[in-house]
Structure 1
């Protein structure tokens, strides 16, 4: 049965390539999931959001030395070592800063035995020493690549590094033709085709990389290749005289190579050399080198209310008036009389009576406003939490009165008349609903929307640019006796 290992390797590489570096790819929903940092301010990973390169092409040449076999390359009886040759090319994909996958093709020839097959076979001496061999091989393998330097790098090391130790391990398919040479001549002993169960092999080793620049790395590797085959050395059949010299059942060899990697992509940094903390160090150094003076209250405080004019919403606060954080004079009972001039600070009353209620018989006089200043955000009819104490006070006030009231909604002058009319009606109805839900009889209230027809600050017409605090004061609901 044939095993198409190249198809398997491709199937492994493609999903890795798709999801590589996807550390920010979390749920596209509104809320974070267990893979996010805990913040919902996240975005899916895309190719455009990549900030470093993760592809490379590597190639190199080397010397294979058959070490564990019946016929070896190292320290033969005549004292000579037999050197073969090899070459490789690989496509490298970095998955993280410490792990990647390499799809690699190797081609080479090992030389083993008692003499180089390029030389004549000796005709004298021990017949045991009258055999030489060579093996031509082709291999395709999928290797895992572990960057030990990034994996074990100290997080407090602020210096850039140009050396990295890598570890490799993987499996693949091996095809070879093994020849032997004796005084009788040279002959083909074994031929193994690729992509078969018997052609599987494994290799593992380590490499030392040097970063020349952002595009080029140099690397030296030492790999150990496990063939799983006792005929790789050219000894012939499994139980031949040559293959009975040693007990091992696999002919294995070292492959020492020197290669170069070309890093692909448009970014400055490659993922296998990327140190995320370097950016933080750089930004901290930039901030530390800056001596930036922060100017507070640049525009001053013209009304001396303790709030800078940069964010003061009321630039003409009377002297001595208490103000809130936005510089607006306080009006605790929201009757239109600021606390500085209000003689009844917590009880609403008309301006004409210095903010104190007027004793009356029967109904409250026409158009007397019992409460003002229940403000709304722009384009919103939602009752603000800060307004609930005011409305609760209105509940008590209305329930203690024999009269009935209009709940009147207003807006500022932005947007169209039709839009503002509907918005003011929604504001008035929301306030009425709140009061009814909290104990006011529904027949004592009438919700009316006046849009922008009854402004607290009439000068804020569409052609006039009013300060925001005046626009906000116009966005209100107030009460009026019927």
Structure 2
């Protein structure tokens, strides 16, 4: 019987799991979906990746079954002893929505009923007075609907912690049992019912109160009422026996009170059965309602008319016609300290006194066949904390290649930095800058014996007033980060 029930449980679980999967059948013909074209108005595909809640759980528990409506009962009401059996259950639970789920449940137990416990000796006149004892061992598989009444009827303005939930259960299944009867002549098997027989169908319904211990564990106390539909379940024997003819009812029913634990499965923090979408929606509405809706935009005005309100304008005296960023600061594309409105060379940095354009310098050289007044040997500048030669400087260096090759003298390539680092670091950075320029010149045709590279760090400033204690404009700092040439 155990093997048969296990096979049946697996057979029921497969279609149940398939039925419980979330479906997102949406028309893909390019039209907006509606109830006529696609059967759903949901245009966003729902996948496992987009889930917010866990929806699977495993539950198990144990309890006491009490035969209540039968010819032989567990509750005597003063006519004998109250007899207690035992029961256990195991179920696989799937939440379909926040208020409804389906459980595949296996029950096993033993009820005890009659005038005495079958473990004890029978009275001498037990059979003559029909005061027999009985017990019934049962196995059952059922499919239960699970309704979360707390999510259905919970007040949306309830801000208390959501730790308790009332559930209702109802379903059908198949029941197999072996009923034993005992009198002064001993104990004997009086009825045996195999699973999936014509009379093995049964129903059960009840309620349970769950307590949320944490996001993974629930504790539940549950009371179920089992309707067997069988007059022989209580161990009274054949339905025409004297015992089974004492009462008119044809179904032996019992209560099953249990205490169990649910283990919620999945990677998410909370389970779907503990989520109330209406509560979440009203909570968000309350948050929005409590926010101040009277927002006054541009309360202080825009005094410089740059399009940025003075409430968050970081430069309140922007010149008329200047382009600004989101904070109201005039744009300076090349970061040379001259805003684009006044900069004659917007993309090339240069000093303020030269309207933001770079200064062309010449180095006097004695000797050689070249007229130094017509040929110029210019220096180049570098980005902050960089020794990389910028593409914009290659024309200057190519001119230096021609100049040095046409001259008979030798030259020192001198690298410098600004003052925004330690002296040791700046010294090494200046040496790298000088060597990079020297290597570039050699690579492009200058003989190595005509060049020497020297780094002077922050000791050779073009603008000496830019020291660590002084805040200089960027164009001066950039001018200090340079490589220039000196004739020997």
Specify the alignment match of 2:226 in structure 1: 225
Specify the alignment match of 1:183 in structure 2: 184
In the TM superposition, residue 195 of structure 1 has moved relative to its aligned partner by: 1.9
In the TM superposition, residue 81 of structure 1 has moved relative to its aligned partner by: 0.6
Specify the alignment match of 1:34 in structure 2: 34
In the TM superposition, residue 197 of structure 1 has moved relative to its aligned partner by: 2.5
Taking structure 2 as the reference length, what is the TM-score of the superposition? 0.56
CA–CA separation in structure 1 for the residues paired with 2:110 and 2:327? 80
Specify the alignment match of 1:71 in structure 2: 72
Task: Structure 1 unaligned segments of length 5 or more: list them.
Answer: 316-482
Specify the alignment match of 2:214 in structure 1: 213
CA–CA separation in structure 2 for the residues paired with 1:303 and 1:258? 79
Q: Alpha-carbon deviations, 1:173-231, whole Å to 9, x = none?
A: 10000000000000000001112222111100111111111111111111110111111
Q: Which of structures 1 and 2 has the bigger CA Rg?
A: 2
Distance 1:75 1:12, change over 3 A: same
User: Would you say the 8 A contact 1:60–1:257 is kept in 2?
Assistant: yes
In the TM superposition, residue 15 of structure 1 has moved relative to its aligned partner by: 3.0
User: Would you say the 8 A contact 2:126–2:132 is kept in 1?
Assistant: no
CA–CA separation in structure 2 for the residues paired with 1:208 and 1:227? 24
In the TM superposition, residue 41 of structure 1 has moved relative to its aligned partner by: 9.1
Distance 1:29 1:125, change over 3 A: closer
Specify the alignment match of 2:17 in structure 1: 14
Partner secondary structure for residue 221 of structure 2: strand
CA–CA separation in structure 1 for the residues paired with 2:153 and 2:19? 23
Specify the alignment match of 1:87 in structure 2: 88
Mapping of residues 130-279 of structure 1, within 5 Å: 130-277=131-278, 279=280
Partner secondary structure for residue 129 of structure 2: helix
In the TM superposition, residue 310 of structure 1 has moved relative to its aligned partner by: 4.9
Taking structure 1 as the reference length, what is the TM-score of the superposition? 0.57
CA–CA separation in structure 1 for the residues paired with 2:234 and 2:292? 68
Decide which moves more: 286-295 or 89-98. 286-295
Partner secondary structure for residue 210 of structure 1: strand
CA–CA separation in structure 2 for the residues paired with 1:140 and 1:190? 20
User: Would you say the 8 A contact 2:26–2:42 is kept in 1?
Assistant: no
Specify the alignment match of 1:476 in structure 2: none
Partner secondary structure for residue 149 of structure 1: helix
In the TM superposition, residue 262 of structure 1 has moved relative to its aligned partner by: 0.6
The root-mean-square deviation of aligned C-alpha atoms, in Å, is: 3.8
Partner secondary structure for residue 48 of structure 1: helix
CA–CA separation in structure 2 for the residues paired with 1:67 and 1:274? 37
CA–CA separation in structure 2 for the residues paired with 1:96 and 1:164? 15
In the TM superposition, residue 276 of structure 1 has moved relative to its aligned partner by: 2.6
User: Would you say the 8 A contact 2:33–2:43 is kept in 1?
Assistant: no
Mapping of residues 55-454 of structure 1, within 5 Å: 55-75=56-76, 78-124=79-125, 127-277=128-278, 279-280=280-281, 281=283, 285=287, 297=309, 298=313, 310=326
CA–CA separation in structure 1 for the residues paired with 2:296 and 2:187? 86
CA–CA separation in structure 1 for the residues paired with 2:156 and 2:26? 26
CA–CA separation in structure 1 for the residues paired with 2:73 and 2:123? 18
